Amino acid sequence: MASAQAAVLNAVREPLSVEPLAVRDPRDGEVLVRLGASGVCHSDLHAITGDLPMPLPCVLGHEGAGVVEKVGAGVQRVKPKDHVVLNWVPFCGSCWYCNSGNAYEADVPLDRACLIGCGVMTGVGAVINTARVQPGQSVAVFGAGGVGLNVIQGAVLAGANPIIAIDLNERKLGFARQFGATHTVNAGSTDPVSAVLDLTGMRGADYAFEVIGRPEVVTQAFMAIRRGGKAVVVGVPPATAMVSVPGMLLPLAEKSLVGSLYGSANMTRDVPRLIDLYRAGKLKLDELITRRYKIAQVSEAFTAMEKGEVARGVITF
Ligand code: APR
Ligand code: ZN
């Protein structure tokens, strides 16, 4: 048995309880990781509000990195003391809820590495793996939060131009420029669809990414793409929400509307790639962390995200 502090969601819309939990030893195929840091992701906030239904009680903090403490029988990929990024989509092929990590050399601090475990992979992967954006193609990004900024830096890596960032919050639009957006649009004061058309020769963008989780913004993303363009939904709308688009444009304008989960990533291939890009100075991780917290401040961290004060907050243990 190991023990650790955890942020526990006992009921929807109730304050999180930070409490010690006893964790049993890992069984066959399981790995026990002591988390060093966890990014504060909006998906956890969706779980708190109930928009993303979760079996309760549950421990929040899936954007994690840490050090392997123990491994169960049959675990080959990692060993105790390995530094790992958590992967919340299984890849062992035998167990749906497996929580294996991907080992990397210990030179990348855990507070940067954890971001790769969700937001960075989700955002960069949506551009590189899901959409496969080509150099010179135009990209519009709706939502410049912790994940949206990574869609923007994914678009930079892909050589996209222009890269148009849309948000309601000027601070987020400032971050967007820092991450490589060539143009920014405040959707609070400017119609974002018209703005994207204006910036793309009135054709519409080759790709638009919705990185918020709002059905009406999915519609905007669809309207902002050109004939034959693709709107990629990364944000997670509430479980009961329906999304509407003008049906006629699906065949007549040959538009596509697709979803992207976890950047369509192959984690064993893509985590080391992203870590290498960070080491080479081509992937911004340090700049994402605009505030740090201890676990006792977890509620404060979510409030700051809701108020749009941070690019990404990170909890360190
Ligand atoms: N138009 C434009 N921008 C908006 C709008 C809107 N109508 N509403 C909200 N935003 C912006 C916010 O100002 C914020 O910058 O969307 C951004 C959301 O960012 P975060 O709160 O940091 O959320 P993030 O962690 O990036 O997650 C976004 O992606 O993976 C999913 O589950 C995740 O659905 C969530 C989404
Ligand atoms: Zn997440």
- pLDDT tens digit sequence for 1-41: 888 899 999 999 999 999 999 999 999 989 999 999 999 99
User: What is the pLDDT confidence band of residue 93, given thresholds at 50, 70 and 90?
Assistant: low
Diameter of the chain measured on Cα atoms = 62
Strand runs labelled E in 15-110: 17-23, 31-39, 58-59, 63-71, 83-86, 101-104
**Helices 298-306, 42-49: inter-axial angle, 10-degree rounding:** 100
Instruction: Give mean pLDDT, residues 187-199.
Output: 98
Say how many C-beta atoms besides its own lie within 10 A of residue 248's C-beta: 8
Burial (CB count <10 Å: 0-12, 13-18, 19+), residue 233: buried
CA dihedral sign of residues 124, 127, 132, 134 = negative
Is the CB of 220 within 6 Å of ligand 1?
no
Nearest ligand atom owner, CA of 305: 1
pLDDT band at 98 (very low <50, low <70, confident <90, very high): very low
pLDDT value at 266 more than 50: yes
Map residue 43 onto helix, strand or coil.
helix
**Residue 309 backbone dihedrals phi, psi, to 5 degrees:** -85, -20
d(CA 7, CA 2): 16
**pLDDT > 60? residue 238:** yes
**pLDDT tens-digit profile of 38-74?**
999 999 999 999 999 999 999 999 999 999 999 999 9
Mean pLDDT, rounded, for 292-315: 95
Pairing relation of β-strands 139-142 and 101-104? unpaired
Q: Predicted confidence band at 103 (pLDDT cuts at 50, 70, 90)?
A: low
Residue of 212, 216, 218, 233 best suited for mutating to test ligand 1, as the one with most atoms within 8 Å of CB: 212
Query: What is the distance in A from the centroid of ligand 1 to the CA of 163?
Result: 17
The closest alpha carbon to 230, from 159, 134, 157, 118, belongs to 134
| Burial zone of 227 (CB within 10 Å; 0-12 exposed, 13-18 middle, 19+ buried) | exposed
Pair 129, 105: CB distance under 8 Å: no
